[in-house]
Structure 1
Amino acid sequence: MKKFDYQLLNDLLLDTKVVSKLTTIYQLRGETSSYQIDYHEELKKLVAVAKIQSTDSSNRIEGIFTSDSRLNKIMSNKVEPHNRDEQEIAGYRDVLGLIHENYRYMPISRNTILSMHNMLFKYSGDSWGGKFKDINNKIVAKYSDGHEEVRFNPPDAFLVPELIENLCSSYNDAVKEETFSPLILSAAFVFDFVSIHPFRDGNGRMSRLLMLLTMYQLGFEVGKYISLEKIIEDSKESYYEALAASSVDWNENKNNYLPFIDYYLGIVVKAYRELIERMGLVHNPQKQLSAEKLILKILQQNLKPMSRAELVEQIPRYSQTTIQRNLKKLKDENKIQMIGKGRNVKYILRHS
């Protein structure tokens, strides 16, 4: 049976690239440590945006989606899900909300994992929600061009309960003993969880929820404000490549965790940098910039058309209504132009 040696992680040797990313993360966490006090209102807006993006992106990775308008209504509990995709989206919303509010009271254990999975599928009414798989399955990678590939054959179903127990125990012991940096242990745990593939469905989404849960518990809460799932979706092919590289010889306890750890840490670095960049829009001397000037500045910096939602996300200091009003004003003044129609409208600077 697969064994989880979190004291050594298969004699893991950290290369300079990974060490550099770890150092960067701790530095960036230090830079953002006072944000909750200094920018409480701005962060509340980022939390709302990140919840929507995380729910949308984590499900989209698995081919589950709905319209933007329906997504927003589901996220705000204004409508009941009306099909299978929306039921699973609503389930993810609830588990994400649970983690945000109660992560301190959710030990990394078999029971926590089963309860999260049960909540993930509570709207769909599947009898196997909250239960480990009773049939063998395969890990399939889904690529942006639509093709799928079998990436890995996980352990047989009858082995799963004991494997999950052993994984959680090894992880918790290693965190207490500080055998590696906590982020290394979080990455290894998430990777081993998805390699076990303990459920009939929802394994990828569960792994990303467990990423958030373990990071929050270890003191890295950037995923509350910047969607880690969106960053993963935007780099999906690299995500699958890292999983595949670290899967080689996994069943023989000879796999190399380094490729996935390197990818995982890269996601965290990017999230912290995005958080600092967004908060930079409310720092002096830009703090006094009007919504109008900030819109122009961001359009100039990004050099591409941006939707209203993207601009709201980038400018947490101002409300959606304020951004919308200023977009109309800038368009009327011929400073920006609209591209596309309806829901696909985007804005770009008008060049004379």
Structure 2
Amino acid sequence: MFQEEWQPLNIGLLLHLHRLLWSETAYPGGQLKTDDNLVVDRSPDGSTTVRFVPVPAARTAEYLTDLIERYRAAHADARHHPVLLVGLFVLDLLAIHPFADGNGRVARALTNALLIDAGYEVCRWVSLEQLIADSADQYYAALLRSTDDWHDDRADPWPWLSYFVDVLASAYQVFARRAASDRSGGTKQDRVRTHVLRHAAPVFRLADIRTALPGISDQTIRLVLEELKGERKVSPEGTGRGAVWRRMPEL
């Protein structure tokens, strides 16, 4: 998507991407933050807890320039795995937090572009954004652990990198399941049944089936799940958004 636009990687590209992401809103995208910002947790009662203090606004351009130069040099040197370099770039970008709003969205869009450039093109077909949203608790926990002592240059990047690599691996697993499903033939109901019984996790959501089998309606998925429920091969648990299905052990 950004393959022609993001070369070379520079601050101008980040501003351009930020502007594109906000182009359909009234928000003035395409500019670095002018005031210092904080990364906070908001409780249901409205109170906030500071999770991280990003780089001051006055030094944002300086830090971004240094980050981009270090990434490009490390990428050209080719001594380290490109996935780790992309993960480290994203970690530092989120720690710098260069925009008043939209930092996560810019970081995830750049993640796609940098991974594609490094030859990891799975994000063309599988949404890393959705995988991150589905594992939001792990995302924030890993980010919190790896930004601790970041300003003192003593942060441990491995909690974040482990999470980052796991998300990418999950994307390839989703892609493999979709490819296997497409080769399986049969009706749409047959494909749902095969996926649920052979490929789905022991506990899964309807949304997981929808993601794994694009082009098959929720109505068809629900129909098959009800049939499998009647056959005592799956069992529903919970209701609403929290509802899941559990595959039953074979007798």
Q: Which has the higher contact order (CA 8 A, sep 6+)?
A: 1
- Aligned partner of residue 226 in structure 1, secondary structure: coil
Partner of 2:213: 315
Q: Please report the TM-score for the alignment, with normalisation by the length of structure 2.
A: 0.80
Partner of 2:70: 170
Instruction: Output aligned runs, 1:1-352, within 5 Å.
Output: 100=1, 102-107=2-7, 108-127=9-28, 129-141=29-41, 149-283=49-183, 287-301=184-198, 302=200, 307=206, 311-316=209-214, 319-320=215-216, 324=219
Shift of 1:313: 3.3
Change (3 A) 1:343 1:165: closer
Change (3 A) 1:256 1:145: farther
Shift of 1:247: 1.2
How big is the alpha-carbon RMSD for the aligned residues of Structure 1 and Structure 2? 3.6
Shift of 1:275: 1.1
Identical residues among aligned pairs (%): 26
Partner of 1:94: none
Change (3 A) 1:166 1:240: same
Partner of 1:79: none
The amino acid of 1:227's aligned partner reads S
State the distance in 2 between where 1:327 and 1:277 align: 19
State the distance in 2 between where 1:260 and 1:344 align: 27
Decide whether the 8 Å contact of 2:40 with 2:48 is kept in 1. Answer: yes
Q: Which runs of 5+ in 2 are unaligned?
A: none
Change (3 A) 1:270 1:143: farther
Q: Which runs of 5+ in 1 are unaligned?
A: 1-99
- Aligned length in residues: 242
The amino acid of 1:315's aligned partner reads L
- Aligned partner of residue 113 in structure 1, secondary structure: helix
Please say which of residues 185-194 and 173-182 is displaced more in the overlay: 173-182
- Aligned partner of residue 182 in structure 2, secondary structure: coil
Change (3 A) 1:179 1:305: closer
Decide whether the 8 Å contact of 2:181 with 2:195 is kept in 1. Answer: no
Decide whether the 8 Å contact of 2:71 with 2:85 is kept in 1. Answer: yes
